[in-house]
Structure 1
């Protein structure tokens, strides 16, 4: 099989060149040309402008033999986790070659990928790198060769330029701006078959399907800090900005809240997708562990490694090192941690009345309060109790790093102690 992985939203002339090149290689080798087409959410964590069936027709019309849907990944994972999963699908299906487009050569891609292959960690791709996604695919293809005893042959074709890079985003926006007609300039960068299928979809009113904003607004407007803290890709700052900026009635108000939390466009789309689909940190973590067991997740990206990093950084900050220095040292020296605690026993600040209500075994939501303190919320005898946790600075820093990891859950349960009650904070449960 000769493979392409894509959104194709919609298929434009740049994509046409990919399919043409793939067709040539497939015909030469006597293979199928298969498009692994994202469904549900795009690789950039957004809903699709053109639905899956229409995008499939566009690809098949230009010479693809078969479409394989890829669903369930892009509202749960960042690309550094979804790419090896998609590559594994191709390996398991018998793929031999991978086709992609880029503005830089295969040699340049390979050179830029060296660092990530060496480190065994594929997150943190520098923003100034051109074609970051292609570099990531190349690097992860090298990573998977140990598992499969081979790697896919990479083929890179130059991106089509027409007064600039052909952009799906600009194509979509031009159609919206022109009252859902395809303007003359946009037609120039679309294959004839794409134009025909697009116009059919527009006529049927099946274009530009939006998110479920009713559900998103409901979650962002009404749920507690404790509940929001369980949702994947919401860190402490994001949760507090969401609470602070209520009420949400439009798309821009959502984006504004995440901008204030220092989220970029990609992470905002992923966080909003997680809210829309009610994706919890535990769900993401459990899926990651499942893929870890299949040797699809690089060792430096594994769940336990992320937890170890948080403990190491917290320990080094206590010793006077900055967080940035500790992070760099942990990565570059691949420091091993033997005894990272997965349970922390925290004191509580309770009134006498609240102490009388407490019982062992009550579950507590752990979150970061508006004053940036690690806190819990629980219900005892029908009463809601909120209180800060009493912990040494090292444990506080550790918990903050875990809470802000985006996908590792933190839970709490009331336990009896000699002097009253504590919260047993459990990491990764």
Structure 2
């Protein structure tokens, strides 16, 4: 018996999804849909709640629907795709079915080989066509190799002209009015149209209700904002400057000023809404590394080594972008050190998980680092207390604060401030 698995949002289920399910039934004996339940793969609350999407998917031909929870409000897809591949393998899936480009697969596989070579699912260049397909192909091969599973990813041509993103955008522009469904009716199967119409008449969808998000952003202290994963120091500063926020659009504007793109903005807002912290992210990522679900160069330890390397070179006048590119060219940290010495005459040294970064006139103890609205680094003790950091200390602290996979505190003894890094674990 061949079990076909489909991983998707189905938000809302449209005719392209119905076509995918029809093909799945033709190709296998059983069709299991792994449905993102609480947050979508776009890192947003869904348009339709899980219960309704599950009902529609079963009516469209799935034999079973398995909810997938807790991933997309926390992690980028570079982490969650391998985890979902393992879940599907554990549930007996033989073939993962997806719609995508069936031509030029040889070209896509070149990118897959590169991803596997550098052991980093983040390494797919933004200009690569069908990046998500490359990510899934690489994740399937990685999980099969590391865990001994035998799952195949099969691509079928997309049914052109149908897009959940365009449907949601059309409904959003009309304020999610039931009358607006007429504009997208041709995209929706009868089962979806009827349930979606009744739902919109009865209530406002979760994606349009984000009052709690605004409450957190308007009330959180600077150190609380710094602890939220995927909010870097520039983003925190823009949030502190821009509040109070009265709409999500204003928040997007603040993050745009921090040079956030749309994907990172959605992920940062999901982290904020669910109060996802860097220590939680680091702890989960480490557990996935131990289970060999995350490629080596995505581990918290590896992330911190890169932070140290880039900070060391940046404090000697090297542009951060150039330092990061140099690091990614190397096959190991030692090779990156050799390249740095040869090109810039700078040795970044061996990363230390406890290092003196400056002085702080506060009581002895451990503090979470924070940033003020004017961009100054410090700690919180009866209000914000500025940190007098060395050039390297300030640069390293900013990189650690900006890295959602590295957790750290500042330990002060006799006014000496030391950065204590806990890659993958909380203090």
TM-score of the aligned structures, taking structure 1 as reference length? 0.88
2 CA distance for matches of 1:185 and 1:237?
Answer: 40
1 CA distance for matches of 2:183 and 2:218?
Answer: 41
Q: Secondary structure at the match of 1:188?
A: helix
User: Are 2:361 and 1:347 equivalent residues in the alignment?
Assistant: no
CA contact (8 A) 2:282 2:404 kept: no
Query: CA shift at 1:110, angstroms?
Result: 2.3
Q: Report which stretch shifted further, 216-225 or 233-242.
A: 216-225
Q: Secondary structure at the match of 1:229?
A: helix
With over 3 angstroms needed to count, the CA separation of the structure-2 counterparts of 1:349 and 1:61, relative to structure 1, is closer
Counterpart of 1:139? 138
Query: CA shift at 1:286, angstroms?
Result: 0.7
User: Are 2:9 and 1:13 equivalent residues in the alignment?
Assistant: no
Counterpart of 2:345? none
User: Are 2:180 and 1:169 equivalent residues in the alignment?
Assistant: no
2 CA distance for matches of 1:212 and 1:198?
Answer: 17
Query: CA shift at 1:349, angstroms?
Result: 5.4
1 CA distance for matches of 2:417 and 2:94?
Answer: 53
1 CA distance for matches of 2:183 and 2:22?
Answer: 23
2 CA distance for matches of 1:216 and 1:318?
Answer: 36
Q: Secondary structure at the match of 2:260?
A: coil
Residue of 34, 37, 50 corresponding to 2:35: 37
Residue of 318, 323, 326 corresponding to 1:329: 326
With over 3 angstroms needed to count, the CA separation of the structure-2 counterparts of 1:182 and 1:16, relative to structure 1, is farther
**RMSD in angstroms over aligned alpha carbons?**
2.1
CA contact (8 A) 2:378 2:384 kept: no
CA contact (8 A) 2:354 2:418 kept: yes
2 CA distance for matches of 1:201 and 1:180?
Answer: 9
Counterpart of 1:369? 372
User: Are 2:227 and 1:230 equivalent residues in the alignment?
Assistant: yes
Counterpart of 2:202? 204
Q: Which residues of 2 match residues 7-406 of structure 1 at below 5 A?
A: 7-27=9-29, 32-105=30-103, 106-162=105-161, 166-176=162-172, 177=174, 179-181=177-179, 183-205=181-203, 208-210=205-207, 213-318=210-315, 321-336=318-333, 339-348=350-359, 350=361, 358-361=362-365, 363-379=366-382, 384=383, 386-391=385-390, 393-406=391-404
Give unmatched runs, 5+ long, in structure 1: 351-357
Q: Secondary structure at the match of 2:368?
A: strand
Q: Secondary structure at the match of 1:43?
A: coil
Q: Report which stretch shifted further, 329-338 or 136-145.
A: 329-338
Counterpart of 1:423? 417
1 CA distance for matches of 2:14 and 2:291?
Answer: 36
CA contact (8 A) 1:211 1:276 kept: no
Counterpart of 2:342? none
Query: CA shift at 1:108, angstroms?
Result: 4.1
1 CA distance for matches of 2:376 and 2:155?
Answer: 49
User: For each residue in 1:61-118, what CA deviation from the matched residue of structure 2 results, as whole angstroms up to 9, or x when unmatched?
Assistant: 1111100100000111000001111111111222110111114534443233222122
Counterpart of 1:354? none
Query: CA shift at 1:43, angstroms?
Result: 0.4
Q: Report which stretch shifted further, 238-247 or 327-336.
A: 327-336
1 CA distance for matches of 2:99 and 2:287?
Answer: 31
2 CA distance for matches of 1:212 and 1:277?
Answer: 14
Q: Secondary structure at the match of 2:179?
A: coil
With over 3 angstroms needed to count, the CA separation of the structure-2 counterparts of 1:191 and 1:215, relative to structure 1, is closer
Query: CA shift at 1:423, angstroms?
Result: 2.2
Query: CA shift at 1:39, angstroms?
Result: 0.9
Give unmatched runs, 5+ long, in structure 2: 335-348
User: For each residue in 1:45-66, what CA deviation from the matched residue of structure 2 results, as whole angstroms up to 9, or x when unmatched?
Assistant: 0011011111111111111110
2 CA distance for matches of 1:169 and 1:198?
Answer: 15
Q: Secondary structure at the match of 1:123?
A: helix
CA contact (8 A) 2:13 2:188 kept: yes
User: For each residue in 1:359-384, what CA deviation from the matched residue of structure 2 results, as whole angstroms up to 9, or x when unmatched?
Assistant: 322x32312334444322223xxxx3
Q: Report which stretch shifted further, 274-283 or 337-346.
A: 337-346
CA contact (8 A) 1:99 1:155 kept: yes
Number of aligned pairs? 404
